[in-house]
Amino acid sequence: MKQLIPGLLFAALWASASVATKFGVQSVHPLILATVRFFIAGSGMLLFAYGVQRAKNAWPTRTEFGQLAIFALLNTTIYLGAFVLALKQVSAGIGSLSTATNPLFIALLSALWLRKMPSLNQISGLLLGLLGVGVATYPLLQNSYATVEGLLILLGGMISVSAATVYYARITWRLPNLVINGWQVLLGGILILPFTLLSVVLNPADFSTAHYDERFWLSVFWLIVPVSVAALQLWFYLVRQDAIQASLWLFLCPIFGFAYSYFLMGEPITLYTLVGTGLVIGGLWLGRR
């Protein structure tokens, strides 16, 4: 139970990012969506931590700023920047599917960086979970629109966030979770800003057609509060318990993603979805033994 409720809630919130992002990029360029999200979310969390909670001894040292910058580059700038760019070319369903690749990368990087080899049960659970995700998403992959460029961007983002997870787990953090989260999101926004400005210069037409409408701001709100704040706080908690076991909860993200796609985008839930869900739950059970 120590990880059950946080794990389920994390998966439900994290999975919603694909649909929310898909709505947002219909109004503005993906990098605008990412930059606005990062600056508002990061600033808001830091204002709350320092202004409302008045966290003591929570200002990062020079070394900690360096650690936060590396974490922000991997976890926010590269991963989330790649994610919003890819969803301009890839369906929300495939975006949810991409989260299932994280556990294998995390397990492999953990073996290399943390010298913590995954057990046979964990490896079997990871493979069974991937099989379940593959079965559940088979009809979606048959009918979804995607480009090679979009899929490669997604792959790069998945590798980056997996590296960020292992990097986070190998450091003994002194700072509170909210402060870490706030700084890494804000620093991620600062690091992505030059790429956003460069895109404006190179492709002004893409930005002149931006619409800062209700759909855009609702997308920004959802990506900030439930995803950037709530889901990441839960993720940090799970990773501190065990980085490899935490990664198993990512298997549920595509399953939640199918439900959101069904209710919000009219994508069907098939027998493949039900069978895949069973395999995913079996993989979670086996991996957590």
Q: Element (H or E) spanning 15, and its range?
A: helix 4-24
pLDDT digits (tens, 9 = 90+) for 213-236: 999 999 999 999 999 889 988 988
pLDDT digits (tens, 9 = 90+) for 39-48: 999 999 999 9
Beta-carbon neighbour count of residue 120 at 10 Å? 9
Can you give the pLDDT at residue 123?
Answer: 82
Does the pLDDT at position 288 exceed 70?
Answer: no
With bands split at pLDDT 50, 70 and 90, how would you rate the model's confidence at 144? low
Beta-carbon neighbour count of residue 213 at 10 Å? 12
Tokens in use for 263?
């209710």
Predicted TM-score (pTM) of this structure: 0.84
pLDDT digits (tens, 9 = 90+) for 151-187: 889 889 988 998 998 899 889 999 998 899 999 999 9
Instruction: Return the DSSP state at 31.
Output: H
What single-letter amino acid sits at 21? T
Between CA 265 and CA 175 the distance in angstroms is 40
What single-letter amino acid sits at 95? G
The ranges assigned to domains in the chain are 4-287
Q: What is the mean pLDDT of the chain?
A: 87
Can you give the pLDDT at residue 114?
Answer: 67
With bands split at pLDDT 50, 70 and 90, how would you rate the model's confidence at 285? confident
Between CA 252 and CA 5 the distance in angstroms is 13
pLDDT digits (tens, 9 = 90+) for 64-82: 999 999 999 999 999 999 9
- Find how far residue 267's CA is from the centre of its chain: 22
- 3-class SS of residue 53: coil
Can you give the pLDDT at residue 279?
Answer: 87
What single-letter amino acid sits at 62? R
Between CA 129 and CA 249 the distance in angstroms is 10
Can you give the pLDDT at residue 7?
Answer: 92
Can you give the pLDDT at residue 202?
Answer: 86
Backbone angles phi, psi at 276, to 5 degrees: -60, -40
**Placement of tokens 């409408």 in the chain:** 213
pLDDT digits (tens, 9 = 90+) for 107-136: 777 777 767 777 788 788 878 888 888 888
Beta-carbon neighbour count of residue 146 at 10 Å? 16
Between CA 49 and CA 69 the distance in angstroms is 19
With bands split at pLDDT 50, 70 and 90, how would you rate the model's confidence at 1? low
Please answer whether residues 187 and 261 qualify as being in contact, where contact means their C-beta atoms are separated by less than 8 angstroms: no
Q: At what angle do helices 79-86 and 4-24 cross, to 10 degrees?
A: 50
Does the pLDDT at position 262 exceed 90?
Answer: no
CA atoms 179, 180, 185, 188: torsion sign? positive
Can you give the pLDDT at residue 38?
Answer: 95
Q: Which residue has the higher pLDDT, 188 or 119?
A: 188
Closest of 10, 11, 36, 40 to residue 25, by C-alpha = 36
Closest of 249, 111, 105 to residue 163, by C-alpha = 105
Does the pLDDT at position 145 exceed 70?
Answer: no
pLDDT digits (tens, 9 = 90+) for 16-27: 999 999 999 999
What single-letter amino acid sits at 139? P
Share of the chain above pLDDT 90, in %: 43
Alpha-carbon distance values, 252 to 11, 13, 58, 73, 135 (Å)? 6, 11, 34, 26, 13
